[in-house]
Structure 1
């Protein structure tokens, strides 16, 4: 790509700045808690139609898709965002900001590396940083490509924006439906994916996986006044909890980029759950973070081994473990029962797709830095399962996600439009095959 092309990207992106900010405000002002995304989906569809996307549609689950078609053959690169957000929580914690107000003001905010504060314009509100700011920047990157095409430039391949439902529950149900059902029905495919999850304009290259386990420890009821007649399942769970904490957790592997695999006991419940009855079931909800090379099955086997050891030592000890599931219903009434299992993934900074993205940012004069998410994303489908090249690139900053300080920098919004457009051009115009499947 020539310097003239990079300058043209900046010029055209700047032309859209006012519309970009207004669209971001509209998105933030529209509540879209998981399972209630219809109104915000309508906004995405209307905006892409206004901007001149070649194809815009909503699938039967409520996901939205907008495609800018190139005038030359080339790859299809998916730019993905989720449309839902978490609850704003107690409004009193928002320090004078309405979580759905999308108020713009001058504020002191972290720089890219959280090493200093800068005075910049920000838009405040729930989902500004997860992920409505990033989604708006992706939609307007498509508009930049449309404007290039109108001016007679050749566009190789297809730019595809996808907005999916129900990412926040962490089962990938919207993304799974979109890729495995909708794409197949419509004859669509994708060669790579760019996620809008918060990355502070860095290129993010992976995250750990997440599996939720339910361990049930069994006992026998008796009257609370005569506990010796029963088997207290809570007491039976104590040695299991101790082994999970003191033996399994320290032994878990470490990935050089993603960090240590982990296990955390986050919920304890018992049944029947009455004061005068010794409980015959103790349920332990486990959050297990996996690294490449681990699977839900291998993580389950580790817990099962501890259960087997305790059963051999204590004839009264009985327990089982399974991956938790959840029933998810979209705003269009489509239902899935899905496993709480998200795969780990990473992509090398030397992968050709990442190198193309870094060269695109360099051409714009943006610093090239890399990072990895602490949390999980729908990239577990595209990279962890489909093994398609995937990166994160976004104007949003991770430290503000899910907090009452939720905000996005307007200067970063504009830079992200430029970066997304440049990444598409650089990757799509590559003369070599840069979309090699991921391996680790």
Structure 2
């Protein structure tokens, strides 16, 4: 395909900050990403990308051709974001993209529209200077990352090219990330018999829930050599009691499980936790919305050696994410995968979500250097 000419001259080139602010103004909940995908494609076309289109899953895909043939780089982000929550808690309205003292505020600023803008302009800045990456670079902003990763699942099943390496752009404070633990949400129901609260009978399921929570608090979970120790955390409790003076028949607790165990190991642990309790629960199969594995890239992998020199200007060592990413899909597809993105991950999903313009610019510059110099 003939490359589309860039319509901008270097002197009037838009920048990553302008693009980011436009992206924040488009609300894009999971399953509602079409408008944002079109805005992303529009930017890629106007910047002179060689291809810019949407696949059958609604993923936005762009291509900048390289100087050499061979396996391509994949820069991976996503389109969707979490709900904005209570608007009164935001200092700045979540979709107005306020720019104040070098910081852009808004839902998605750091997770993940900021990294998407930085990846886009790493490539745009090369084209504006008349340069090309060493190898083809595909950039993908996929759908439904926040609810299990349907877009990434489609992407790895229908790759646009032979992918040699993946950089997941989730926020990492510009630190190289080697992976993260898997995530499962396990629902355990404690059973009892509803009765008047004044009777204080022992078959109140909340007593059994208390024992389960004690066991969860003290459980000894395994440690993975790369991604670290597993955690099991209760997050929500729901009962079927409709009155303050009525006990419930059931109490259901959600356990957030972050680890590297197999399904079989998780089921054995759950059986141990529930032993002797009037309880039921199960671990969902892997690769469902309730249970997906993590990924871990060996620190000695050649990809780490290629990327680390460019991330060392920000952090001397590699790190790990505490949350899950679509890197689990690319890693499972045997595409070598690391993480690297601008922004503070601790601001993701909060009403303080924001990203510094300087972080966007620094990431775009360093990523552009890597893509010019390195083959995956």
Is structure 2 residue 327 aligned with structure 1 residue 379? yes
- Supply the distance in 2 between the matched residues of 1:62 and 1:240 (Cα, whole angstroms): 42
Please tell me whether the aligned partners of residues 343 and 380 of structure 1 are also in contact (alpha carbons under 8 angstroms). yes
1:131 to 98, 105, 112: 112
* Aligned counterpart, 2:5: none
Please tell me whether the aligned partners of residues 134 and 371 of structure 2 are also in contact (alpha carbons under 8 angstroms). no
Change (3 A) 1:272 1:406: closer
Change (3 A) 1:272 1:59: farther
* Aligned counterpart, 2:97: 102
Of stretches 191-200 and 29-38 in structure 1, the one that deviates more from structure 2 is 29-38
TM-score (structure 2 length as normaliser): 0.86
TM-superposed CA distance for 1:19, in Å, is: 2.6
Number of equivalences: 368
- Supply the distance in 1 between the matched residues of 2:192 and 2:214 (Cα, whole angstroms): 18
Is structure 2 residue 152 aligned with structure 1 residue 175? yes
Change (3 A) 1:225 1:103: closer
* Aligned counterpart, 1:320: 280
Please tell me whether the aligned partners of residues 304 and 320 of structure 1 are also in contact (alpha carbons under 8 angstroms). no
SS of 1:56's partner is strand
SS of 2:146's partner is coil
- Supply the distance in 1 between the matched residues of 2:15 and 2:126 (Cα, whole angstroms): 16
* Aligned counterpart, 1:162: 140
Is structure 2 residue 302 aligned with structure 1 residue 352? yes
Is structure 2 residue 210 aligned with structure 1 residue 238? yes
TM-score (structure 1 length as normaliser): 0.75
- Supply the distance in 2 between the matched residues of 1:406 and 1:236 (Cα, whole angstroms): 39
Is structure 2 residue 359 aligned with structure 1 residue 412? yes
- Supply the distance in 2 between the matched residues of 1:417 and 1:388 (Cα, whole angstroms): 23
* Aligned counterpart, 2:257: 288
TM-superposed CA distance for 1:221, in Å, is: 4.8
SS of 1:242's partner is helix
* Aligned counterpart, 2:23: 27
- Supply the distance in 1 between the matched residues of 2:241 and 2:224 (Cα, whole angstroms): 41
Higher strand share: 1
* Aligned counterpart, 1:87: 83
- Supply the distance in 2 between the matched residues of 1:377 and 1:15 (Cα, whole angstroms): 37
* Aligned counterpart, 2:191: 218
TM-superposed CA distance for 1:273, in Å, is: 4.6
Please tell me whether the aligned partners of residues 357 and 426 of structure 1 are also in contact (alpha carbons under 8 angstroms). no
TM-superposed CA distance for 1:222, in Å, is: 5.5
* Aligned counterpart, 1:198: 171
- Supply the distance in 2 between the matched residues of 1:368 and 1:236 (Cα, whole angstroms): 48
TM-superposed CA distance for 1:413, in Å, is: 1.2
Structure 1 residue runs without a partner (length 5+): 1-11, 107-120, 311-316, 326-336, 429-433, 435-440
Please tell me whether the aligned partners of residues 211 and 296 of structure 1 are also in contact (alpha carbons under 8 angstroms). no
Please tell me whether the aligned partners of residues 361 and 422 of structure 1 are also in contact (alpha carbons under 8 angstroms). no
Higher helix share: 1
- Supply the distance in 2 between the matched residues of 1:135 and 1:127 (Cα, whole angstroms): 10
Q: 1:34-66 deviations in whole A, cap 9, x for unaligned?
A: 232222111101011111222222122221111
Change (3 A) 1:60 1:359: same
- Supply the distance in 1 between the matched residues of 2:31 and 2:76 (Cα, whole angstroms): 18
Please tell me whether the aligned partners of residues 72 and 156 of structure 1 are also in contact (alpha carbons under 8 angstroms). yes
| Alignment RMSD (CA, Å) | 2.9
